[in-house]
Amino acid sequence: MNRNFLKENRNGFYLKNLSLLKKKGKVCLVEKLEKIKFPQNVEILETKVGVPTLRVKKNTGQTILLHSAYDPFKEAKNFIEGYNLEDTLFLIILGFGLGYHVKEILKTCPWLRLIAVIEPQVSLFKLAINLLDLSSVLSSSKIKLILEDDPVRIKGEILPLAEVFLTGKTSIICHNPYFYLLGKEAFKIKKSINDAIFWSRTNLVTNIGRGETFQKNILTNIPHIINNPGIKNLFGKFKKRPAICVAAGPSLNKNVHLLREAKNKALIICVDAALRTMLEHGIEPDIVVSIDYGKGTRSLFEGVMEKTGNLFLAADPEVYPDVLSDFKGKKFIINIHKPLCQWLNGFMEDKGFLEKGASVAHAAFSLAKASGADPIVLVGQDLCYPGGVTHAEGAVHRKKVAIGIDKKTGKKYLLSKDKDGRWKGRDLIMVKDIYGRDVPTSPDMYSYLVYFERLISLTEAKCIDATEGGVRISGTELMSLREVIDRYCREELGVRKILEEAAKAKEKVDLGKLKDEVGKVITELKKINFYAGQGQKVIKKLYREIKRNSNRQKIEALAEESNQLKDEIVKVRPYLRSFLEQEMYSYLYLAQRKTNLRLDKFSRRKRLINQIEKVGIFYDGVKQASEKLICDFQTALNNLILIG
């Protein structure tokens, strides 16, 4: 490194840049930068135009110039012109270097809403903030900095943003020298970004399709939420003890019989879909986990619900209500980060949160983690279809699958039989199995894999994959179940005694206050419903006047009336607004899509129509959501009156 250049040109840039990061609340990022050293494999060069560039020497001896030795500004301009970003609203850039290209993007693409910049070489970024005044980048509200080199952690940073990316066109670009600097890691990072967006797309589709069902289930389940202890009573109860999470993948057939030997020597947590298979082998799990909202969840217990009297259930408030009402054994309630559940917390003791993820297997894993278990062992967690079937023998939803090939395009797709015995095709994704072979899986299974790897990366306990088949799950150690039992399941743990004691917990609830508040919510919702109906009428008038080319004064008067009605809706109490938002997810998504357009390309008339359409979508959503919530809250109130 040319330390003289660094000393002569520093000019307080480092402190100024750090100050900007602190102002944006990036205290952890600042601490991270303060701790790391400058890179020792980098040479600072002065370019022909007087600004610095960097030459990086790799371990192989290869040297890479991160920016032009002549004119980095011109190079940055040419780099951006090489991409068509005209319709892009969200941009992800791999590689910061000295940030010349990022500055150019901010200058030439003002329509971009969000720019996520990933710099895997954190020491290079520290050098950059020493060498240059990066205030235009660091102070921009559009910039999201991700200073990570691990693809899994990068995925974790992208996940909270990914749903935003789905509301408009998103582009991913890599600063050219980083392909050479990072090598294969560049492709791993790009894959992690795409995985995060893919998982969010799957999650978004669920929320759009079933958002209203979630809240209806919570309100229906209020009596069970009140009368059963929280999952928090199991937190830390199995510290440093083994836990086995049993899923219903096809490989469960190989080793399910061995679970009998682990009984009372490990906490055995079973997903609902695997319960029948376990009971058919004469093995009772310690806890059954069930979280899914649909009617099909109850069918997973078909033929075995009468045998659940000796078992414990862990279920969240969104679960299909018949699961909680029909289960014969004792129950624990899992709290979740949903507005309605957080509101209910104001009237009762917190039940204890678990990260439920995207599948019941994620919730089972989160329970094992919260219990303090170590190691956490996965069994039956294939996440693909070995043997051409979806589930283990005995599982209710077990189906055959096969690979189909489109004769015209040669594209492969996944075939599965529906309940009528007909083959249906869907997209497939190729993944590596535990033997390193390419195997097909479905998009939903792949999204579960992505989320599993994130959960595991955030877990201190040893995670063992004892499935003995299926997809390779990063972060797990491969081991046979036989070896797991011989090595870790040696002592009697008194599992049932611990569970029985936890199930005795009594938790406070203010039933009178809850009933009063539910009544007030219903009254408020009726007002909101009225305002939304009036808003719909005003929007229809606005459309009519615009088509007639009415005078501006008339249109503005109607627009003002609409704004006043919207204000009446928006100013409701925050928790009530969040209930509506959950209920009208699809409407909000459509409105956001309308917002995330290049409106600067539209005529004045078209911009006005776009605005009216957005407000119209809002009123339609509020009207439908409030009507449904009134009905669901009334049902909840009736149930609360029956309780006492």
Residue 276 structure tokens: 């029948």
**Tokens 């957005």 belong to residue:** 614
Contact 161, 168 (CB under 8 A): no
Tokens of 513: 């206050």
Q: What is the pLDDT of residues 435-476, one digit of tens each?
A: 999 888 888 888 889 889 989 999 999 999 999 999 999 999
What is the full DSSP assignment across 216-272?
Answer: HHHHHTHHHHHHS-BGGGGTTTTTT--EEEE---TTHHHHGGGHHHHBTTBEEEEEG
Q: At what angle do helices 511-547 and 574-583 cross, to 10 degrees?
A: 60
Which helix (H) or strand (E) segment is 414 a member of?
Answer: strand 412-417
Strands 412-417, 312-315: pairing is: unpaired
> What is the average pLDDT score of the chain?
86
Count of CB atoms situated within 10 Å of the CB of 611 = 16
Per-residue pLDDT band for 9 (boundaries 50, 70, 90) equals very low
Task: Tell which residue, 201, 211, 240, has the closest CA to residue 451.
Answer: 201
Range in 116-130, 225-239, 262-276, 600-614 with the lowest mean pLDDT: 600-614
Residue whose C-alpha is closest to residue 389's, from 353, 365, 415: 415
Alpha helices by DSSP H, 371-436: none
At 346, the pLDDT band (50, 70, 90 cuts) reads very high
Q: Compute the distance between CA of residue 53 and CA of residue 48 in angstroms, rounded to an integer.
A: 10
Quick one: fold of 3-202? Rossmann fold (3.40.50)
Give me the pLDDT at residue 155, please.
82
Distance between CA atoms of 636 and 165, rounded to whole angstroms?
36
pLDDT band, residue 334 (cuts 50/70/90) = very high
**pLDDT given for residue 89 in this prediction:** 84
Count CA atoms within 13 Å of residue 356 on its CB side.
Answer: 25
Is the pLDDT score of 538 beyond 90? no
Given a cut of 80, whether residue 369 has pLDDT beyond it is yes
Cβ atoms of 259 and 486 closer than 8 Å? no
Q: Is 65 helix (H, G, I), strand (E, B) or coil?
A: strand
SS3 of 97-123: the string is: CCCHHHHHHHHHCCCCCEEEEECCCHH
| The architecture CATH gives domain 511-643 | Up-down Bundle (1.20)
Q: What is the mean pLDDT of residues 176-201?
A: 85
Tens digits of per-residue pLDDT, 197-228? 777 766 666 655 566 688 899 999 999 999 99
The whole-angstrom separation of Cα 148 and Cα 119 is 6
Position 208 scores a pLDDT of 58
| Two structure tokens written together for 194 | 């795409």
Cβ count near 12 (within 10 Å): 9
Q: Are strands 401-405 and 412-417 parallel, antiparallel or unpaired?
A: antiparallel
Query: Running DSSP on this structure, what letter comes out for residue 389?
Result: B
pTM, two decimals, is: 0.72
Please state, in angstroms and rounded to a whole number, the distance separating the CA atoms of residues 93 and 145. 10
Q: Which DSSP letter does residue 347 get? A: G
148-185: burial string, b at 16+ Cβ within 10 Å, e else: beebbbbbbbbbebbbbbbbbebbbbbbebbeebbeee
CA atoms within 13 A on the CB side of 230: 17
Give the residue from 632, 620, 520, 516 showing the smallest Cα distance to 576.
Answer: 520
Residue 1: pLDDT band (50, 70, 90) is very low
* 344 pLDDT higher than 70: yes
The two three-digit tokens of residue 90, written as one number: 């969200």
Q: Residue 336, Cα to own-chain centre: how many angstroms?
A: 14
DSSP state of 37: P
- pLDDT given at position 481: 97
CA atoms within a 13 Å half-sphere pointing along the CA-CB vector of 530: 7
Residue ranges per domain, the chain? 3-202, 221-503, 511-643
